[in-house]
């Protein structure tokens, strides 16, 4: 049973030549990468971690227990997420819009939006790694338990599987919330960037229109010409006949 999932989750160890080392150079607030320096073999016990979810209950089949241990090993290889710190930093990435921005304000806001998007991408790529691996791991654990459950109906088998991996589901819910928040902020930043870009385009068109008017008719006074036309129309009677002022 365990060999069926080797291609997805990988082996716990690969012999004396396998050496996994963590990358601790990632400068992200609220996200850290585990540091694994020792060689891991199938006989090497992995240190327990309170943040790693476990199965509910005991006396599991050896094959299913081995599968769960492989999932837990992959959890330990993920970058750890400090959700309170991530949410606090995400709240600082919001960009406020101005009702009538000047050209300088628009340029400053575009730079702020770009900096926020770059910072958010650093956080998002680690949240995304957690999201997809945890989601797929839960699917594997729930589907694999159907081989061992004694329940007859489909609803009972599904309920039994969800109950046994409920700790994994709860842990995934925290990651999913953070994942959705990151996606929402990304969409807002994209919308803000598009709005600022359109405002720059409008300002450029207005400048071109003003320059065009000054170049073609530099001395043309539209207001005086309009008043002159109105005075000329008042001298014409309603039936089209000219008044005494025209003789």
- CA gap 46, 184 in Å, rounded: 37
Higher pLDDT, 32 or 65: 65
* pLDDT for position 34: 47
Mean pLDDT, residues 195-211 taken together: 75
SS3 26: coil
Residue 42's pLDDT band, with cuts at 50, 70 and 90, is: very low
The DSSP secondary structure of 185-237, one letter per residue, reads: HHHHHHHHHHHHHHHHHHHHHHHHHHHHHHHH-TT--HHHHHHHHHHHHHTB-
Which H or E run contains 128? helix 103-145
When pLDDT is cut at 50, 70 and 90, the band that residue 134 belongs to is very high
pLDDT (average), residues 133-148: 92
> What is the mean pLDDT of the segment spanning 218-246?
54
Cα separation, 213 vs 235, whole angstroms:
31
Q: Is pTM beyond 0.85 here?
A: no
Q: Which of 110-119, 132-141, 157-166, 214-223 has the highest mean pLDDT?
A: 132-141
pLDDT value at position 224?
Answer: 57
Q: Does residue 117 or residue 105 have the better pLDDT?
A: 117
Residue 77: closest CA among 166, 174, 169, 9: 9
Quote the number of domains for the chain.
1
Please report which confidence band the pLDDT of residue 167 belongs to, taking 50, 70 and 90 as the band edges.
very high
Domain of 123? Answer: 2-149+156-215
């Amino acid at each position: 049973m365990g060999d069926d999932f080797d291609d997805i989750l990988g082996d716990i160890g690969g012999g004396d030549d396998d050496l996994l080392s963590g990358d601790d150079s990632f400068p992200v607030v609220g996200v850290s990468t585990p540091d694994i320096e020792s060689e891991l073999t199938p006989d090497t016990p992995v240190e327990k971690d309170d943040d790693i979810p476990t199965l509910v209950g005991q006396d599991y089949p050896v094959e299913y227990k081995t599968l769960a241990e492989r999932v837990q090993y992959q959890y330990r290889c993920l970058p750890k997420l400090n959700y309170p710190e991530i949410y606090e930093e995400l709240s600082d990435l919001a960009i406020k819009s101005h009702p009538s921005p000047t050209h300088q304000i628009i340029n400053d806001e575009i730079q702020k939006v770009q900096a926020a998007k770059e910072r958010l991408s650093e956080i998002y790529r680690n949240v995304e790694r957690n999201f997809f691996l945890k989601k797929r791991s839960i699917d594997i654990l729930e589907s694999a338990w159907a081989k061992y459950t004694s329940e007859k109906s489909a609803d009972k088998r599904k309920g039994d599987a969800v109950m046994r991996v409920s700790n994994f589901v709860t842990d995934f819910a925290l990651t999913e919330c953070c994942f959705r928040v990151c996606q929402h902020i990304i969409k807002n930043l994209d919308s803000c960037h598009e709005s600022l870009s359109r405002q720059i385009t409008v300002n450029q068109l207005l400048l071109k229109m003003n320059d065009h008017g000054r170049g073609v008719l530099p001395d043309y006074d539209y207001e005086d010409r309009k008043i002159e036309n109105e005075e000329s129309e008042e001298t014409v009677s309603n039936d089209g006949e000219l008044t005494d002022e025209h003789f």
